[in-house]
Amino acid sequence: MQSIKNVKTKNPKVLPGADNPLKFGTIFTDHMFIMNYETGKGWFDPRIIPYQPLNLEPSAMVFHYGQEMFEGLKAYKTKSGKILLFRPNKNIERANKTNRRICIPEIPEDIFLQAIKAVVKADEAWIPTKEGTSLYIRPFIIATDPYLGVRPSDKYLFMIILSPVGAYYPEGLNPVKIWIEDEYVRAVKGGIGEAKVGANYVASLKSQVKAHDEGYSQVLWLDGVHRKYIEEVGAMNIFFKINGTVITPELNGSILPGVTRDSVLALCREWGLPTKECRISINEIYEAAQNGTLDEVWGTGTAAVVSPVGQLRWGEHIMQVKDGGIGPISQKLYDTITGIQLGEVNDTHNWTVEV
Ligand code: COI
């Protein structure tokens, strides 16, 4: 590929101090990656520039029809000073799948990875090292053609921004409370539920506000047709351990294929736990909670890693998960995954990639 130009900032910011809680997604580093696309020209002019506002026409298509996608992954610094990414190729593969779904031109995988590595390297001083922290990497693409007709754009910007982060939920690893949504739906098969696009998250806001008002952190979505089968949580995939078996909804076309979801399934299988990817209804979860076989519930995601769930609310039914504490499998998964990410647990799957 064309080599990546590198323009260093003349005004480096002050790095967050060691005691900064790094509230998720609030602090941004000194640099960003940016690359243009034009029909007939392809992707061109990859460059690292100081982090800065964008200059876009108000008619840019992204503002009107939402042709936008994003990804999320993390970089970690090991005790020996190595920089590790966790399964970046899975994110890159998924990004191009999203691109195909919403008619954005694909980005060659080698260029994508090179761009991530280059911008992380440029801002490596920003990778926090305190327990539970990392450098969140947010690649995204927007349609910039100044045009008000509905069609795929002829111009795009691909950018990568970086944010040093702590835990996604203020609860940290403490169990979160989840609201089961039975009024609104997030996605249906054939729609864009399995693509990583902003539109899926805007569809979730109304329910999220309702859930927050009731004291719940996140929303658990049911399927859009029967309003009965479990899909995913606002920013995570969801797992249940019922009577010894680890169960997660199968990838049915309306669920995001999470990278952490895939890693958790691989680890549970390796540990000899019976696992099932299948259609599971909210009634089955309710029954398990009633008869005492709902052993554990946890969510998985890049931002959240593994997040234990202590309580679920479905209409008037409140389901307490065991004693409401962190379950042993959730804890083991969190420790193993973060251990691999930090180079402290043997990476037998070759999941980490050095920058
Ligand atoms: C991630 O886990 O990286 C996500 O993309 C969820 C995000 C909406 C915070």
What architecture is domain 176-341?
Alpha-Beta Barrel (3.20)
Q: Which ligand 1 atom is at minimum distance from the Cα of 201?
A: 8
| Cα of 302 from ligand 1 centre, angstroms | 6
- Mean pLDDT, residues 169-178: 84
Q: Which ligand 1 atom is at minimum distance from the Cα of 138?
A: 3
Report pLDDT for 98. 98
Mutating to test ligand 1, I would choose from 168, 259, 305, 337 the residue with most ligand atoms within 8 A of its C-beta, which is 168
Nearest CA to ligand 1 atom 7: 235
Q: Which ligand 1 atom is at minimum distance from the Cα of 304?
A: 2
Query: What confidence tens digit (pLDDT) does each residue in 298-332 have?
Result: 999 998 899 999 999 999 999 999 888 899 999 99
Mutating to test ligand 1, I would choose from 169, 302, 305, 307 the residue with most ligand atoms within 8 A of its C-beta, which is 302
| Cα of 287 from ligand 1 centre, angstroms | 30
| Cα of 235 from ligand 1 centre, angstroms | 5
Rounded to the nearest integer, the mean pLDDT of the chain is 95
Distance CA 324, CA 309 (A): 8
- Mean pLDDT, residues 146-175: 93
Q: Other C-beta atoms within 10 Å of 111: how many?
A: 17
| Cα of 40 from ligand 1 centre, angstroms | 33
CATH topology of domain 5-165: D-amino Acid Aminotransferase; Chain A, domain 1 (3.30.470)
Nearest CA to ligand 1 atom 5: 72
Check whether 168 has a pLDDT greater than 90.
no
User: What are the sequence ranges of the domains in the chain?
Assistant: 5-165, 176-341
Residue count (the chain):
355
| Cα of 306 from ligand 1 centre, angstroms | 12
- Mean pLDDT, residues 69-82: 96
**Amino acid at site 65:** Y
Check whether 170 has a pLDDT greater than 90.
no
Query: Long-range contacts for 263-267 (Cβ within 8 Å, ≥24 apart)?
Result: 263/87, 263/300, 263/337, 263/349, 263/351, 264/239, 264/300, 264/306, 264/333, 264/337, 266/349, 267/333, 267/336, 267/337
| Cα of 197 from ligand 1 centre, angstroms | 11
| Cα of 145 from ligand 1 centre, angstroms | 27
When pLDDT is cut at 50, 70 and 90, the band that residue 259 belongs to is: very high
Report pLDDT for 1. 60
**Amino acid at site 173:** L
Check whether 167 has a pLDDT greater than 90.
no
- Mean pLDDT, residues 112-129: 97
> Smallest Cα–Cα separation from 58: which of 150, 152, 147?
147
Q: Which residues line ligand 1 (CB under 6 A)?
A: 72, 201, 235, 301-303
Report pLDDT for 171. 76
Report pLDDT for 174. 85
Nearest CA to ligand 1 atom 6: 235
